[in-house]
Structure 1
Amino acid sequence: MTEYDLLNLNYRSLDEAREDMSRLLGERAKNESLPQALYNDPFLFRVDMDEVFMKQWLFAGMTCEVPKAGSYMTVEIGQNPVLIVRDRDGEVRAFHNVCRHRGSRICKASKGKTANLTCPYHQWTYDLKGSLIYTGSAMGENFDMSQHGLKPVHCRTAGGFIYICLAEGEPPEIDEYLQALETYMEPYDMENAKVAVESILEEKANWKLVIENNRECYHCSGSHPELLRTLLEWDDTTDPRATPEFKAQYERQAQEWDNECIPHEHIEFGLRNRIVRMPLKDGTEVMTMDGKAGCKKLMGRIENRQLGSMRILHLPNSWNHMQSDHVIVFQVLPVSAQKTLVITKWLVHKDAVEGEDYDPERLRHVWDATNRQDRELAEQNQRGINSAGYVPGPYSESYEFGVINFLDWYSETVLREFGVPPASVPRQAHG
């Protein structure tokens, strides 16, 4: 078999993978984990990347990470390097981080600042709006530079969050969620925040297992002693496990939030996005080991240290905890069928001084431990799923409804791209 035949075989296999995925998702048992291949098959992973990560809005970073004109950051979506930069008008833009000459990556660093964007290969130079402004004399007088600007990537910002979408055509609708996010994030003034500390974990597990693990706390009591010093396990006030004592605590704190004009009403947008403010354990302030302040300076206009945690979900790749004196954002980036990066950033007020206002190790301790524990859980989950003994198992509708919702969203999203009507996809309401 020639190399050409192997190439064609790969293409045929990818087409077959799409057919297999359509069948597996269409036939999957309601409220059960997915068939094995959807967690470990490289071709089905490629379909995930094509139909989910190349077409959906993805959390890419925070606007405070590109604070001034020329500030940039880079992110890798599969094999697609993306460049995010703030232009001289203050707008945050995104481009494919690919030179229009011969395709070299332009910005190699994860973050930086530059007057213009210059490719290191042949010094083709672009301004901060992506227009090609210099090629030297090699291309001749008749070369039309206006036709060779950087290829843009859809980019939207709200409440300090940056979302990108690599879709070639129109991206999915997201306006309603972004408007709500802007309102709910207003008290935090994230433009005047900074990243205090960051971690990157490589997990040997499929990205869906990483998200599934996050979407339930059924495992928390057996795995997360540090987290449960402050976190209440239930998901919101409608959680069937929520106690009368918790509901009373919520009502007391909700009155305080109302007095300070802090939004807290539970809102959701389909199964993709939800925002809910939840108290932490009574008497605690933030997610530190003792539940006390993580930073002396509060975020934005916040005055009440017992603000609880505002939880923000954005599928397919982010969950977040907004607290009174620092916020924690999480980003999930698939690498391969059984490898995923989980990036965590702790943000504080931009004027907070390390060593004086906050201790990075104290700030990160709880979630560093929790992330390591979750990595172990996801990796052991993956190893078991790879076994010949694996068969899909049942989810608890009361403890794992968040997982059910995620897989419903995932199935519906992929099948819609395959032309299958959403009404035929199983749905599960929030508990």
Structure 2
Amino acid sequence: MLNNAEILSHIANRQKNFSLSRELYCDPGVLQADLENIWYKEWLFAVPACELPKTGNYATLQVGAYPILVIRGGDGKVRAFHNVCRHRGQRLCSKPNGSAAKLVCPYHQWTYELDGKLLYARDMGDDFEPSKFGLKAVHCVDISGMIFICLAQVPPAIGDMAKQLMTYLAPSGLTDAKVAYSSTIVENGNWKLVFENNRECYHCGGSHPSLCRTYSDNPAMTAMEGPDSASPDILDHWKRCEAAGLPSRFVNHPKMEWRLARIPLLNNAESYTLSTKAAVSKRMGQMPFNDAGSLLFFHYPNTWNHFLADHAIVFRILPISPTETQVTTNWLVHKDAVEGVDYDIETLTRVWLNTNDEDRLVVEENQKGILSPAYEPGPYSMIQEEGVVQFVDWYCDKMTERLSPAPAMAAE
């Protein structure tokens, strides 16, 4: 296992615009450092808020060593807690999702209110103070129907992203959506390989025949130098969408930690379907027309998303081990859309179920190759893989910043 100094050495010695060293993709010590310095400190996408439509609806997720519970309270607010009883540490909820009037520990029945307050603990004595044993809270924000959590004691600022995300997502009406279908798979690859694969479409033509019916693999579609630098056809699409009230131009974090942009689909396609037509007859929110393209949103380290006129697809990744990553995909539709009338699951999900499985295969084969002692970092294409370079640079900068020893104080 690499220690922090060795990890810093690997990062410092990497060649610019080349892939990372073998150890950074497979070493257990690196994963632990990733967890401690990125996953336990950054904002993470947890669930779409519409997955928890009613009081007591909950979802669970595992972030490294931390089991997390996200639940909607009686006041309508979504909160997150460490999914650990304050008595002897039993997990409160073991299912991926469910509903509860109260949170009752299955071990000794300690009972908590949905806001985390301890309500009942049998035979604990007269000097026991329930107010000191509420559930431990996790930072949690609902940004236009997307729930983000942060395990850090002091979370990083999220206001700029939240402001832009609220503006761009408003027409999609995620607060009036529902989960039509959910898929969770495990990719046998390092989490960084999973995210790298998402940040380029260099591989799309050879790997994603279903997706390429509607999604362009032209890197110019998503590699803009500024809000007005797009090709004329993209600028025309933006102007048409903006005239209809759809924010569209590229906005991003200075270091590309997140980005929003609306892109047209190929040949006036309406949705990610094999027919290229809308999968859902009832449009999302206030979307004005079917061929609005896809609003793309990613946020390091764990989410990328597509918001279309007829539905939305939200993705979440979570590391399991140095060479395993959980990928969860939710398809969202208008809450009043009726399955079998307004949409069918096969049409809605086929393209991205195919794409996810195809991505799983390329990531797993990528990981197998990297595990070979013969592997050495190779050059990225600055034409096709700029998004990968941005992600890898962000990762290396974050790890360098957080692993580097603090400078010694000068003696007075």
Q: TM-score, normalised by structure 1?
A: 0.90
Query: Structure 1 residue 337 and structure 2 residue 328: aligned?
Result: no
**1:419 aligned to 2:401?**
no
- The 5 Å alignment of 1:8-87 reads 17-87=3-73
SS at match of 2:327: strand
Counterpart Cα distance in 2 of 1:235 and 1:328:
21
Distance verdict in 2 for CA 1:402–1:230, change over 3 Å: same
The yes-or-no answer on 1:302 pairing with 2:304 is no
User: Quick check: 2:110–2:121 contact (8 Å CA) kept in 1?
Assistant: yes
| 1:226-241 map, 5 Å | 226-235=210-219, 237=221, 239=223
In 2: Cα distance, 1:411 partner to 1:212 partner: 13
Cα pair distance change 1:238/1:325, threshold 3 Å: closer
Aligned with 1:170 (options 154, 158, 169): 154
| Displacement after TM superposition at 1:182 (Å) | 0.7
Q: 1:132 aligns to what?
A: 118
Q: Please give the alpha-carbon distance, in whole angstroms, between the structure 2 residues aligned to 1:390 and 1:232.
A: 31
CA distance in 1, matches of 2:71, 2:223: 41
SS of structure 1 residue aligned to 2:355 = helix
List alignment gaps of at least 5 residues for structure 1.
1-12, 422-431
Instruction: Give yes or no for the alignment of 1:145 onto 2:130.
Output: yes
* Number of residue pairs matched by the alignment: 401
d(CA) in 1 for partners of 2:24 and 2:198?
18
Match of 1:185 in 2: 169
Partner letter of residue 256 of structure 2? L
TM-score (norm 2): 0.94
* Residues 236 and 278 in structure 1, CA contact (< 8 A), matched pair in contact too: no
Cα pair 1:67 1:191 within 8 Å, conserved: no
Which of 243, 261, 276 is equivalent to 1:259? 243
**2:211 touches 2:352 (CA, 8 Å); kept in 1?**
yes
Secondary structure of the corresponding residue to residue 282 of structure 1:
helix
CA contact (8 A) 1:275 1:311 kept: yes
Q: Does the aligned pair in 2 maintain the 1:249–1:282 contact within 8 Å?
A: no
CA drift of 1:79 comes to 2.3
For 1:303, give the aligned amino acid: P
Work out whether 1:358 is the aligned partner of 2:349. Answer: no
Cα distance change, pair 216–348 in 1 and its aligned pair in 2 (3 A): same
Instruction: Report the CA distance shift for 1:420/1:31 in structure 2 as closer, same or farther (over 3 A).
Output: farther
Change (3 A) 1:121 1:197: same
Q: Which runs of 5 or more residues in structure 2 are unaligned?
A: 407-412
Question: For the structure 1 residues 238 and 92, does the alpha-carbon distance in structure 2 shift closer, same or farther, using more than 3 Å as the test?
Answer: closer
Map Cα deviations across residues 254-297 of structure 1 (whole Å, 9 max, x no partner).
Answer: 23212211101210012210001000012210110111011011
* Aligned-partner residue type, residue 105 of structure 1: R
Q: 1:384 maps to which residue? A: 369
Identify if the C-alpha distance between structure 1 residues 304 and 97 changes in structure 2 by more than 3 Å, giving closer, same or farther.
Answer: same
- Find 1:118's aligned residue among 98, 104, 110: 104
Q: Is the 8 A contact 1:236 1:276 kept in 2?
A: no
CA contact (8 A) 2:224 2:250 kept: no
Q: Is the 8 A contact 1:72 1:113 kept in 2?
A: yes
Measure the CA separation in 1 of the matches of 2:340 and 2:278. Answer: 14
Q: Residue type matched to 1:206 in 2? A: N
Query: Once the two structures are aligned, what percentage of the paired residues are identical?
Result: 45
* Equivalent residue in structure 2 for 1:280, among 265, 270, 278: 265
Runs of 4+ in 1 over 4 A off after TM superposition: 235-238
Q: Is 1:215 matched up with 2:199?
A: yes
Could you tell which deviates more after superposition, 42-51 or 141-150?
Answer: 42-51
The aligned counterpart of 1:375 is 360
Q: Deviations over 1:229-264 (max 9, x none)?
A: 0001235557389xxxx9333233223212211101
CA positional deviation for 1:23: 1.2
